[in-house]
Amino acid sequence: MARVREARVSKPISGGIKERVPLSRDRVLAGAITVADAGGIGALTIRTLAQELGVKPMSVYHYVANKDEIIDGIVDLVYAEIDLPLPGADWRQEMRRRAGSARQVLAKHPWATPLLQSRLNPGPSTLRHHNAFIATLRAAGFSVQQTAHAFALIDSYIFGFALSENALPIHGPDSVADTASSMMEQFFDAEAYPALLEFTMEHIMKPDYDFGEEFDYGLDLILDGLAQALANNGGEPPTRQPLTPSKPARARSKTPGG
């Protein structure tokens, strides 16, 4: 049987000597994240990945079958960066901690937001993350249906906010005044858009305005609403053990006279 050559990449070390570092699936996926972070998911191809790794494109195929497998892998790595909620702890604090962590991770990897819910082959970190989220709410007394509502609301909010935050032409409080002033000079007609002008002048143009601060306000509204819904419905007894599918009963063997 023909042996597959192990691709190696050159890694600079002290003195200008290059160390030959073995290529691996982990290095391939790490390189893919670097490419996607720099140029978006559209910039990620087998060729650009090979260039990032310093190998020939065919070497990459020893570790991944195609681009879809690469995306599956890097999405799973993004999930691995997000803090897991802790079942049994205060559910609001855990949802808040997890939401803040997810927002920070998605700011670092903006290409990932539209892909997080798209994969047909979720990896272990993805599954572990979803399981911890569900288990935290179930342990707090949320029914399965209430958990589904919470899952949809919280993640839709986090992902939607991340998309908006990453797309805005404003990058932090320091850039607000210049950006808003430029837009007002070019497009704002005080007579045609009085409400928009008022909003911009009295809110956005404030020296301490930071769009990112809206995140906590919206998250609080969602968590308050879920807490109220849980109280109104009485909740369920906390689930101490993860629910597992029941095994089908084994058929009895028939014996004469049985």
Q: What is the pLDDT of residue 252?
A: 44
CB 116 within 8 A of CB 79: yes
Helices (H), the chain: 25-39, 46-53, 57-60, 67-81, 91-108, 124-139, 144-167, 176-187, 194-199, 214-232
Whole-number Å distance between alpha carbons of 32 and 178: 35
Q: What is the pLDDT of residue 245?
A: 46
- Domain of 25, in residue numbers: 18-64
Is 252 part of any domain? no
Say what the pTM is: 0.78
Tell me: the pLDDT tens digits for 161-182?
A: 999 988 876 665 556 666 666 6
Same domain, 150 and 226: yes
CATH number of the structural domain spanning residue 165 = 1.10.357.10
Whole-number Å distance between alpha carbons of 200 and 81: 36
Same domain, 120 and 143: yes
CB 106 within 8 A of CB 161: no
Q: Among 124, 149, 125, which residue's Cα sits nearest to residue 137?
A: 149
Domains: count for the chain? 2
Same domain, 231 and 139: yes
Same domain, 43 and 129: no
Q: What is the mean pLDDT of the chain?
A: 83
Is 100 part of any domain? yes
Tell me: the pLDDT tens digits for 30-51?
A: 999 999 999 999 999 999 999 9
Is 102 part of any domain? yes
pLDDT below 50 — which residues of the chain? 1-6, 10, 12-18, 244-258
Same domain, 77 and 123: yes
Same domain, 22 and 98: no
Same domain, 50 and 81: no
CATH number of the structural domain spanning residue 54 = 1.10.10.60
